[in-house]
Chains A and B, each alone.
Chain A
């Protein structure tokens, strides 16, 4: 445990620096560069809005903001999870030359995607103003909800990072799973009201991403209280899984190099 905090301190600079430079590199080769980070969720949101809002007649209040805010969270989770499966392999150059705790690679990618998400959040604010979403003090609950999402993402990431090294076709499996999860997470609908009585609640209980997104919308858009107990439980589960993931990586990380 103390090793984890020492390493975090030691590699934090690297983590941040690598995140920013990788972000710059992504931008350097495109014409619209950082505008893409806004454009992508915005276009997705418009598609969902026309399909589910107009064609299928979803009358949810603030529907545009509803979709967009969900998409931001989902995109973050989705990107980091997909990255974690091939994190060690795609950093082969670094991993074979110098020792670095392997979860640092994951963390760096999380920072990168968090920056992207933060920029897209600017658009979210604009959308909220345009739709006249009332601002309540409950808005502040967004911070712990995001924190839980980060913990859960890191937990999933560390575990997938470990197995991703050894199991070749995990990328395919995870891609399909994430696709399925996308529809079970309620990006363009409300899980608790749209899915029949017991199942909606069950889904919210067992799918922390859906829980985070639903809670975030409650406090952000509708001024309601989230389910604190359930969020608390998932926070503990996430922290526990983070510990398991980091321990596993520490135990096996030196044999990763022999495989890649």
Chain B
């Protein structure tokens, strides 16, 4: 039986051109004064496939393009060249400290997040209690998100993505959320999510033990390119040796 592919990436390139803000004066004068070396290749021609139900870990030093890759898979960025195919699966990105409207309450943010991820309002409402319970926010759930502490913020963020079922889960360094107890809880929830054979996961992490324990394969990114892709044991020991040299 042929294994189903959930994500396929071909020759992906993403650049950060100097698309910074401009004044009106600058935009009229044109972009002639822009230097060529301002183009940064965050992801530079990578291709790989992820099978359905697989857990792919991504490791690499800061600025090697890991988060950019995840954002591209989540369709937040468009690739400058190459192709990303998520086969019509529902994708959600779990990342620290993003994604809320600060003026509205936690409960309302759960609804809006759910709808933005492509769920029906009924489904979001159904899952509401589970999310609230998991996030452990107590009465703060009905207060505007701007009154939250950073821990509460991350807990809510984690709870939403963890409880709402998406086919592909992209995790960007969120396994260290909240206090020690919540960390353990979220780690266990994470494991539970990941062990579901229907769900495809890509995890970006700097924690070698985590990747060793959870992943089927590990991708090592270096300067926007794939340095190694294969068995966790092999890739991670190479990586460790590289980083300590």
Contacts and interface: CB of A to CB of B under 8 A. Distances in A.
B117 interface: yes
Interface in A85-102: 91, 93-100
A258 B71 CA distance: 11
Contacts of A258: 16-17, 19, 77
Contacts of B100: 93
Given A14-B112, A168-B21, A259-B20, A94 B101 contact: yes
A166 interface: yes
Contacts of B74: 98-99
B19 A21 contact: no
A259 B21 CA distance: 7
Contact of B104 (A22, A95, A173): A22
Interface stretch (B4-12, B51-59, B90-98, B127-135): B90-98
A259 B111 contact: no
B23 A168 contact: yes
A166 B28 CA distance: 12
B151 interface: no
B88 to A, nearest CB: 13
B76 A13 contact: no
B99 A99 contact: no
Contacts of B95: 97
Interface in B51-82: 71, 74-78
B115 interface: yes
Contact of A255 (B19, B71, B75, B120): B19
Contact of B103 (A14, A25, A97, A255): A25
Given A13-B115, A21-B108, A97-B93, A255 B101 contact: no
A10 interface: yes
Given A166-B22, A166-B27, A167-B23, A21 B112 contact: yes
B178 interface: no
Contacts of A97: 76, 93, 95, 98-99
B115 A17 contact: yes
A257 interface: yes
Nearest to A172: B24
Contacts of A98: 74, 76, 92-93, 99, 113, 116-117
B121 interface: yes
Given A17-B111, A98-B117, A257 B22 contact: no
Interface in A165-185: 166-170, 173
A97 B22 CA distance: 24
B98 A93 contact: yes
A44 interface: no
Nearest to A252: B78
B121 A17 contact: yes
B118 interface: yes
Given A17-B108, A98-B76, A99-B74, 11 more contacts: A13-B115, A25-B104, A26-B103, A93-B99, A93-B101, A94-B99, A94-B101, A98-B92, A167-B21, A168-B22, A254-B76
11 contacts: A18-B101, A18-B112, A25-B105, A93-B102, A97-B93, A97-B98, A98-B117, A99-B76, A166-B19, A166-B22, A168-B23
Interface of A: 10-11, 13-14, 17-18, 21-22, 24-26, 28, 91, 93-100, 166-170, 173, 254-255, 257-259
Cβ-closest 3 pairs across A and B: A254-B78, A97-B99, A14-B115
